[in-house]
Structure 1
Amino acid sequence: MVIKKAEYIASAVKYEQYPVDGLPEIAMAGRSNVGKSSLINSFLGRRNLARTGNTPGKTQTLNFYRVNDGWFLVDLPGYGYAKVAKTVNAQWGPMMEHYLKKREPLRAVIQIVDIRHAPSVEDIEMQQWLRTMQVPTMIVATKVDKIARGQWAKHLKVIAKALDIQDVSLILPFSAQSGVGKTELNEAIEEILGLNLESVEEAARGDS
């Protein structure tokens, strides 16, 4: 899948604000400051499409990015940052639950963790929550450029154990800086979207 076009469409906190295109969606979730925006920008090949900031937890909306006019990448609000106002934290749960439970175009959630650290309580709760709601999930471990390649396997095993993932090879190592994992993530998303992606991209190109 070649990313030819990626554009910000909307930020939403309630159902009425979601796009109505009906295009398939892949959502990305992760702790605040885990490198989610950098991953999105790297994957889409756009330097500043998803805003990266110095204040973790600042983004508290669902941000929709339309890719190749064929599907949406949805940036979910970062979780687990204690300094976010209590009122905002109180809104986060219902907003996420409604989206993850009710959003028909949602195909899968990519949960992002930092390879350098064992998954947090919030990471584990998110994984359990997604399983309870039977949302297909893929785990991506970011910031692999921060540790020696020879240490990856050890750190990935820690993540797999904490998140109760039986096959550690299902966790994708990724670096927004070096590009490690970008091709594999592209292929995984293409597979998740499947024929839906193929048909809508053909329609966008005007193929017969």
Structure 2
Amino acid sequence: MALRTPFFTLALQIPFRSSSSFSLTVPAKTFRRPLSHSTISSSSAPANPPPPPPTLLPTVLFVPPGVEPHQVNESMVLPGSNIVIGPYAGDARIKGVEFVKSSGRARDCPKDDRPEFAILGRSNVGKSSLINALVRKKEIALTSKKPGKTQLINHFLVNKSWYLVDLPGYGFAKASEAAKMDWSSFTKGYFLNRDTLVAVLLLIDASVPPQKIDLDCANWLGRNNIPITFVFTKCDKMKVAKGKRPDENIKDFQEIIRQNYKIHPPWIMTSSVTGTGRDELLLHMSQLRNYWDQ
């Protein structure tokens, strides 16, 4: 059984020759445990990636295993993210996906050694839409105009080799208090007892200011040493009538997170409407999965 290992970091400045808007500091490896063998293919990197989203403030890079901080250059950073791509990045294509089961308790989840990624977020953050966008199939996840439809732990098997796990959304005001408690209890039980969990993709709505409930969730995951990637959704909404733009909201969220995280987790900007960040997120997941699986 794989055990969680503590995080450690090394910070330094990376000079870039181009006129990039990123001014970067770099932490070293941020994985909790060693991960079976997968074929690595550099050709899986997305062709003709979309242009990077609007400029964000100086950020902290996520440097994966196999990359030394002094080796990092601008071309290794995925657009619209702080994620460096290293040698563990492999074939990120999704060739097949199938629904496996819904579980009301963590102990009822599939019992095998396949790695998995859990997708978590507020009930109206666009969780189901992101899953559908990742697998490029309609209605793989339940999408509804009524938030809070996912009330079970749903496992989807991808390429017959790894799982996407759709978890109940949190913070839905119209759910009963009993249901909220049940969802919270079995979701936390899943996080604490699921040895095959590679990382949690915590979805954050970039079209609104930082929400306390999202920050509380992120801090709970951090305190329990659960690997996390922030996936900012709805980044296509670059014009708003009131309030700040998504890139400004993301900056504010990151500033708050830095107060509680010694190592800033990986993050990426996405849009289920335009497809922004889809290929990049899958490539990031491939390197996490391949490292976990070695």
Whether TM-score is above 0.5 comes out as yes
Deviates most, 104-113 or 118-127: 118-127
The residue aligned with 1:129 is 220
Q: CA deviation at 1:32?
A: 0.5
Match 1:180 to one of 266, 276, 290:
276
The verdict on how the C-alpha distance between 1:94 and 1:152 changes in structure 2, with shifts beyond 3 A counting, is closer
Q: Are the equivalent residues in 2 in contact too, given 1:10–1:64 (CA < 8 A)?
A: yes
Distance 1:123 1:152 in 2: 16
Q: Are the equivalent residues in 1 in contact too, given 2:100–2:155 (CA < 8 A)?
A: yes
User: Greater helix share, 1 or 2?
Assistant: 1
TM-score, normalising length: structure 1: 0.88
Give a deviation string over 1:135-183, Cα, whole Å, max 9, x none. Answer: 11000111111114xx443222012123336898942110111110011
The residue aligned with 2:64 is none
Unaligned runs of 5+ in 2: 1-91, 240-244
Q: Secondary structure at the match of 1:145?
A: coil
Deviates most, 26-35 or 54-63: 54-63
Question: Partner amino acid for 2:236?
Answer: D
User: Greater strand share, 1 or 2?
Assistant: 1
Give the total of aligned pairs: 198
Deviates most, 166-175 or 69-78: 166-175
The verdict on how the C-alpha distance between 1:169 and 1:12 changes in structure 2, with shifts beyond 3 A counting, is closer
Unaligned runs of 5+ in 1: 200-208
Match 1:110 to one of 198, 201, 206:
201
Distance 1:189 1:41 in 2: 16
Q: Are the equivalent residues in 2 in contact too, given 1:157–1:168 (CA < 8 A)?
A: no
Q: CA RMSD, aligned part only?
A: 2.2
Q: CA deviation at 1:3?
A: 0.4
The residue aligned with 1:53 is 144
TM-score, normalising length: structure 2: 0.63
Distance 1:30 1:135 in 2: 15
The higher radius of gyration belongs to: 2
Q: Are the equivalent residues in 2 in contact too, given 1:115–1:159 (CA < 8 A)?
A: no
- The within-5 A match list for 1:72-111 is 72-111=163-202
Give a deviation string over 1:96-134, Cα, whole Å, max 9, x none. Answer: 121000011011101001111122121011101100110
Q: Are the equivalent residues in 1 in contact too, given 2:102–2:155 (CA < 8 A)?
A: yes
